[in-house]
Amino acid sequence: MTVPPPQHSRHAAGGAESVPPPGCPAHAATGPDGTTRLYGDAAATDPMGLYEKLRAAHGPVAPVLLDGDVRAWLVLGYLENRDVAARSTQFSRDSRVWHGWRSGEIDPETSPLMPLIGWSPDCVNADGEEHQRLRGAVTAGLGQFDHRGIRRHITRFAHQLVDSFCQSGRAELVEQFTEHLPMLTLTHLLGMSEEDGPKLVHAARDLFKATETSLASNAYILESLERLVVAKRARPGQDIASALMAHPAGLTDEEVQHHLRLILLAGYETTANLMANVLRMVVTDERFRGSLTGGQMTLPEAVEQVLWDEPPLLVCPARWANGDTTLGGQRIKAGDMLLLGVAAGNVDQAIRPDPSAPVHHSRAHLSFSAGSHECPGQDIGRVIADTGIDVLLTRLPDVALAVPEQELSWRSSTWTRHLTTLPVKFAARSPRVPEIAEPLPAPPPPTGGLPPERPAAPWPQNAPEPARVPAPRRSLWTRLGRLLGRR
């Protein structure tokens, strides 16, 4: 099956990719009863501005409409977000609690919201003991890799990606770097074949846009993962898929498949966004870059600052009220849907009176959520971002934006906002290590554990460039596949 190309509901700040006809009701900022839409052009162009308007009008919890004018509450307050995430008996993660299924507010056959709020047999949609059972398997699957081992793979992938464009003196960092590194890493950790990589990048991006093609993209991802489950049942390896199957929680094949999808989607888009946001700050904000190069801010601190200011998920779906309650002055009815307003909560004046002040070492942001569903892959996300950006900046310390900053454009949905392009320039240089002479990693020992990594180089680094040895031209994915296949 092929994944249809993106064609609908693309919104770009600074360069509209599709312009609705004037007065088009489907693109109006409010629904028929005046409730604010959290989708459409107004929401896509300036989501942070929209959150502040909602906060001014309604306080820490505001009524909003999702795609198809589906009703929800957007939680804007920092403390209210923590409250909802922490009170799991009051606010369920199980979408079947939603009254919208019975009222006919949504058409489950066609709604682009389905991949995000539809029920599936995974830990995100579970509460209590069932959540603990499923989450235990996920945590064990993610926890089996030591971070030095993961870092070694990320470093190698990142060098390969930089090698693919460093000779030209120009690159498009979203297309050529930030969209690929997390997917290369995650498909590898999951145990997938390298051929799945490029199509999965496309499908995963499409899914988050919540367009008409999102359902097809979701189906494509599930089919790829079904193939993986069959392959790993027959031949287990040291990967997340095999670990989920072997876990004493006794996951069915369907549960394994849905958890692999969850890990792929939860980890990919978010980490790619995080990397793009950090790199944009490096090439557009002199103070930010100066703090990094001057040593006042380490790369992990820079990543944390961006997690506060530009969270990869603006809005996190979703919780459903188990009973009538009040929150932030609003009366919430049993079965109502609530959305965690991560980006809005992170800049709530109640905890950040001056949002322009650096947060220094604080990791108290909402970007990985909180409570029992708090992101179990956050350290993997951080290590991909830290390591990838470190390699890029070490290799290309003179990297600079190649276009005026105003020409950068974003694509937005209710849930995320990400850069579509980040064109950069730098002095052309040779690939670092000729691929043909790349030392292959030693095979992993049979009972787990990975060989120690080489020490990471500090940034900036001024190592002399090695002479280039011409290598046969193959696609990046094929080359990476060859290397991995020989592990």
Which residues contact ligand HEM by CB under 6 A? 85, 123-124, 135, 138, 142, 262-263, 266-267, 270-271, 274, 312-313, 316, 367-369, 373, 375-378, 380-381
CA–CA gap between residue 297 and residue 302 (Å, rounded): 6
Residue 6: both structure tokens together:
């993106």
Q: Is 284 helix (H, G, I), strand (E, B) or coil?
A: helix
User: How many whole angstroms from its chain centre is CA 24?
Assistant: 31
Any idea what the Cα angle at residue 350 is, between residues 344 and 355, rounded to 5°? 60
Which CB sits closer to ligand HEM, 382 or 479? 382
Which amino acid is it at 99?
Answer: H
The two beta strands, 410-412 and 12-13, are antiparallel
Which CB sits closer to ligand HEM, 73 or 426? 73
Radius of gyration of the chain from Cα atoms? 22
Which CB sits closer to ligand HEM, 76 or 166? 76
Residue the block writes with tokens 């070492």: 361
The set of residues, in sequence order, having a beta carbon less than 8 Å from that of 110 and lying 6+ positions away, is 212, 215
Which CB sits closer to ligand HEM, 41 or 386? 386
- Residue 199's DSSP bridge partners are none
Residue 381 beta carbon to ligand HEM: minimum distance, rounded to whole angstroms: 3
Q: Is the peptide bond before 460 cis (omega within 30 degrees of 0)?
A: yes
Residue 19 beta carbon to ligand HEM: minimum distance, rounded to whole angstroms: 31
Which CB sits closer to ligand HEM, 258 or 432? 258
Residue 124 beta carbon to ligand HEM: minimum distance, rounded to whole angstroms: 4
Residue 197 beta carbon to ligand HEM: minimum distance, rounded to whole angstroms: 16
Residue 378 beta carbon to ligand HEM: minimum distance, rounded to whole angstroms: 6
Residue 300 beta carbon to ligand HEM: minimum distance, rounded to whole angstroms: 12
Q: Which residue is nearest to ligand HEM (CB)?
A: 377
Which CB sits closer to ligand HEM, 217 or 367? 367
Instruction: Give φ, ψ of 186 to 5 degrees.
Output: -70, -40
Which CB sits closer to ligand HEM, 210 or 402? 210
Which amino acid is it at 108?
Answer: P
Which CB sits closer to ligand HEM, 100 or 267? 267
Residue 117 beta carbon to ligand HEM: minimum distance, rounded to whole angstroms: 12
CA–CA gap between residue 132 and residue 389 (Å, rounded): 34
Residue 367 beta carbon to ligand HEM: minimum distance, rounded to whole angstroms: 5
Residue 80 contacts residue 61 (beta carbons within 8 Å): yes
Which CB sits closer to ligand HEM, 378 or 420? 378
Q: What would the DSSP string read from start to end of 116-132?
A: HHS--SSGGG--HHHHH
Residue 212 beta carbon to ligand HEM: minimum distance, rounded to whole angstroms: 25
Nearest C-alpha neighbor of 279 from the set 297, 299, 295, 264: 299
Nearest C-alpha neighbor of 433 from the set 153, 150, 162: 162
Instruction: Give φ, ψ of 175 to 5 degrees.
Output: -65, -40
